Structure 1
Amino acid sequence: MKDVFVSGWYGYTELFSGLSEDFEFAVPFITHSLSDIDELMEEGGKNLFAWSTGAFLMLDRQKRPNFENIVLISPFKKFTSYTPERVLEIMIKKFVDFPEKVASDFIKRCGCEGTPEYNPQHFHILLHGLRFLLRTDVEELEWSLEGVKVLHGTEDKIVDVQASRDMVWETDATLYEIEGAGHWIKPDILSKYKI
């Protein structure tokens, strides 16, 4: 059975080294289109890990992904509820002129160890991904989160841990707050939630 990891914006495999090798790794808009990701969810498998924008994509689905174990990492239902829209708009404007710096700053704010090398060929796709975040909004979940594990760092500077607390309050998901972690959670911690 297949294991799938659906990553987030600028969430290349290098960020999850030691874990990403065990998964089919999807970076939305870059390695996989949204329809490719939908196909992976329909095919299903054993473990589904989804980080940030990847977690949003799972929450935005009309039906539950076909996996035995679903782990949502630093999820959000509406990105601008926790990162003000004006901050995201400034990030988009700066990205147009200084994409490498914006990407590097984002990774640092996530609390990541190391920064993936910026690929100029991904400029337009990454810009689209930032604009996509402005439109994210899951008003109502359409599938049960019963049995879903939600991991969120207590020191998240991108999407406050309150996003997961609010979501878990409304669902049957189980929240695991990772003390001292940011938006990015170390792969060795994530691997503990794999079955």
Structure 2
Amino acid sequence: MLRLLAPLGAVLLLVSSVAMAAEVPTPERAQALLFDAAKLGRADLVPALVAAGADVNARDARGFTALILAAYNDQPAVLDALIAAKADPCLPDRDQGNTAQMGVAFRGHDALAARLLKAGCDVNARNKAGQTALMMAALFGRTAQIDMLIAAGADPRAADASGRTAASVAADQGNAAVAAKLTK
């Protein structure tokens, strides 16, 4: 429980210190708070944290950018604030190579999927296993995202490192309707 409260406490501390103009956090502290703000939906803090030296494209200890954290946690206002602050929506995470687009396909955040598609990233970007956002959407039966991704140019014939396509991923999950849709 304390672990969950720590980020919230840190963000509240920053808000009070910025509001009182008592202290500007160090760039290192601003960076940590930016990751917390991304997860917690505190878009209002993004400009102040960037001004205090937070790098919008830095990766946290687990290899995620603030934008990936905002997308994964369904924080549209933070995603918009980060993009406005020049965060790169196309950067993958450090370890697996997953993009924010892949994260929203995994989590099922359709509105964020649409926002990210407008950012102009490669719709066929691959992670280190050769998987695409379309494959992840197929894995979880995210039909709205499948439609969006295909309309944006996603290649349903692309195969991952093990030779699986989005259709075969859907079929392996027992989702024949999605597999059929992807083979048309």
More helix by share: 2
Q: TM-score, normalised by structure 1?
A: 0.29
Answer 1 or 2: higher relative contact order, Cα 8 Å, separation at least 6. Answer: 1
More strand by share: 1
